[in-house]
Every structure is written in structure tokens, then in C-alpha cells.
């Protein structure tokens, strides 16, 4: 019975890390948030106070932003890992962040491969046109 409970808890880490990765990647990397992100990049460099600079930096770094998304997910879901108290939230939070960042790294590698393939195909098409 305990084994089933633990496997269920670990299963949920991988599920909860998906929306964390998706939200963190979208806000910090995708074109739809380009203008607000550029504003935050400027503010993170130009603000006089370190707390202001760090606040704006959060929106430019997928790793940093994933912590805040994870906190929100933990508040919404009340998911705890291994312990039914604050320790469960603590362990769950770091676990979800870690797995979400693995997801984002894999997604980034996939995107790089796809871009590389597009470039190769485009060069091949240009060569064929010039023949």
C-alpha cells in the first residue's frame, strides 16, 4: 500500500512539472512575451536598487521563473512529497523545479535540432536553384 502511495506521489511530480515548464518557457522565451521581456531585460540592467534589478530579472530567466511558477502550482494543488507538512512542500518544490528544467532543456535541444534541419534544407534548396 505504501508503495502505491509513493509511486503515485512520484507520478505527480512529472505531471506537475509539465505546466511549470510550459509557463516558464513561454514567458521567458517565446515571441508572444517578447516586448514585456525586453522591458524587463532593460529594467534588470538599469534599475538603481538590486532588489528591483532582481525582480525584473526573474521574468527573463526560465530557471528563476520556474521557482515562482512552482510555488503557485504548489499553492493551487497543495501537493506535498514524502511528508505531510512544510517539508513535503519543500521537497516537492525543488523536485518539480528540477524536473521542469530538465523538460525545458530537452525542449531547447529539440528546437535547436529543428532549426538546424531547417537551415540545412534551406541551403540545399538554394544549391539546387543555382544549378
Per-domain residue ranges of the chain: 2-103
According to the model, what pLDDT value does residue 11 have? 87
C-alpha distance from residue 42 to each of 23, 66, 96, 98, 120 (Å):
22, 21, 29, 28, 34
Residues contacting residue 51 through CB under 8 Å, at least 6 positions apart: none
According to the model, what pLDDT value does residue 120 have? 80
Residues contacting residue 41 through CB under 8 Å, at least 6 positions apart: 56, 60
According to the model, what pLDDT value does residue 6 have? 67
pTM: 0.77
According to the model, what pLDDT value does residue 131 have? 66
pLDDT per residue as tens digits for the range 89-110: 999 999 999 999 999 999 988 8
Q: All 3 cell numbers of residue 13?
A: 511530480
- Start-to-end C-alpha separation, the chain: 69
Residues of the chain with confidence (pLDDT) below 50: 1
Amino acid at each position: 500500500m505504501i508503495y502505491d502511495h509513493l509511486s503515485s506521489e512520484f507520478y505527480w511530480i512529472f505531471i506537475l512539472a509539465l505546466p511549470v515548464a510550459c509557463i516558464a518557457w513561454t514567458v521567458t522565451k517565446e515571441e508572444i512575451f517578447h516586448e514585456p521581456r525586453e522591458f524587463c531585460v532593460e529594467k534588470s540592467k538599469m534599475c538603481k536598487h538590486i532588489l528591483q534589478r532582481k525582480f525584473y530579472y526573474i521574468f527573463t530567466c526560465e530557471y528563476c521563473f520556474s521557482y515562482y511558477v512552482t510555488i503557485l502550482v504548489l499553492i493551487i494543488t497543495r501537493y506535498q512529497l514524502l511528508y505531510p507538512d512544510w517539508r513535503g512542500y519543500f521537497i516537492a518544490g525543488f523536485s518539480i523545479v528540477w524536473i521542469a528544467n530538465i523538460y525545458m532543456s530537452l525542449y531547447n535541444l529539440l528546437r535547436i535540432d529543428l532549426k538546424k534541419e531547417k537551415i540545412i534544407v534551406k541551403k540545399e534548396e538554394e544549391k539546387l536553384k543555382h544549378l
